Structure 1
């Protein structure tokens, strides 16, 4: 990543959340007794530790302000019946906040093993480890089909690359919330301004227009 792009990211407050290729390797937990946790593509066992990062992430990491986290969860109307996937989950604050405030089960996906370890530690401290999990995995090879809510704070080009995958995998009615960046031709149902930052909200349609696929 060149110096000008780094300056752009810092100046705009863009998420520097790490993404990329690295198999699902974080400790898995059942969300509640007798309930299987959501699974990700390629997730077949329960490894105890993370693995070395296989390649640099696509974007650096900057956490979402808590006021924006709260607004993202509120516009999506998350509740205890939801399964929330946070793409590029960083320190885990979106998934953890949803579990704390609404009883939501959640999965955070990130390539960076340091972020995975930090998120697991934060979940332990928050007392929500029974409802959340964090996995070290490539977003573009992941399966989000169990999600009822998806949150992201990435970059414009990453959003556009993910859009066909999200629309193909997610069920109609699934809510998607993005901090700072839209999804091109896919017009949001709501746009919020939160402390000078923009939040976009979509609902996956019953039929996906050809121009969005």
Structure 2
């Protein structure tokens, strides 16, 4: 599925001085799944409710990052593995999913096996704050604002310049995104934030 900007008036949303805000439609045929809430814990005991990214939004995140077969996608808080599996299935990328919940990690591995992409992806049970993401060319997130802020200096320290980051729903504080995209999905309006890691990291972001 490819997405094209469409005119849509969204209260309080406009073109930001540091980037671009775009509204994209999602066809109503997208599959949305309801899953019983699962709470995941990081080492710091920060609770991150498990709310899966709808499949069409997951695909839009990968399209926003311009993922190709040359990319290595890391999904931090990977849940059932849908973003990493989609990256492998539809974009030909390799991927690594990281989650602290062992049940979700096992589910992800089984989902990858059923999708026929086990040779291109792996899922690790790890604390997000201890994860080694240096091999990533793309990082995806659907966490919480405070978790994003704690991860920000780790990501900027480890990731190579030019690495793309896409966060579903939550920003990274005063790190201004290169682009903000609104996804008009059947369930609600979703927001995606997109950054490219700069060659020189400003002191205030470290």
TM-score by length of 2: 0.77
Quickly say closer, same or farther: Cα 1:94–1:188, change in 2 above 3 A: same
Cα distance in 2 for residues equivalent to 1:118 and 1:148? 25
Q: Which residue of structure 2 aligns with residue 91 of structure 1?
A: 80
The equivalent position to 1:114 in structure 2, one of 93, 103, 106, is 103
Quickly say closer, same or farther: Cα 1:124–1:163, change in 2 above 3 A: same
Task: Using the TM superposition, give the Cα deviation of residue 16 of structure 1 relative to its aligned residue in structure 2, in angstroms.
Answer: 6.5
Count of aligned positions: 166
Quickly say closer, same or farther: Cα 1:106–1:68, change in 2 above 3 A: same
Q: List aligned pairs for 1:98-137, cutoff 5 A.
A: 98-137=87-126
Encode CA deviations 1:67-89: one digit per residue, 9 max, x unaligned: 11011000100011111100000
Cα distance in 1 for residues equivalent to 2:68 and 2:81? 18
Cα distance in 1 for residues equivalent to 2:172 and 2:166? 11
Q: Which residue of structure 1 aligns with residue 64 of structure 2?
A: 75
Runs (4+) off by over 3 Å: none
- Note the aligned Cα RMSD (angstroms): 1.6
Task: Using the TM superposition, give the Cα deviation of residue 58 of structure 1 relative to its aligned residue in structure 2, in angstroms.
Answer: 2.6
Task: Using the TM superposition, give the Cα deviation of residue 201 of structure 1 relative to its aligned residue in structure 2, in angstroms.
Answer: 0.3
Q: Which residue of structure 2 aligns with residue 20 of structure 1?
A: 42
Encode CA deviations 1:113-170: one digit per residue, 9 max, x unaligned: 1100110111011000000000000110111011000000000000000000000000
The equivalent position to 1:207 in structure 2, one of 186, 200, 206, is 200
Unaligned runs of 5+ in 2: 1-36
Q: Which residue of structure 2 aligns with residue 49 of structure 1?
A: none
Unaligned runs of 5+ in 1: 1-14, 22-54
Cα distance in 1 for residues equivalent to 2:136 and 2:191? 23
Task: Using the TM superposition, give the Cα deviation of residue 18 of structure 1 relative to its aligned residue in structure 2, in angstroms.
Answer: 2.7
TM-score by length of 1: 0.75
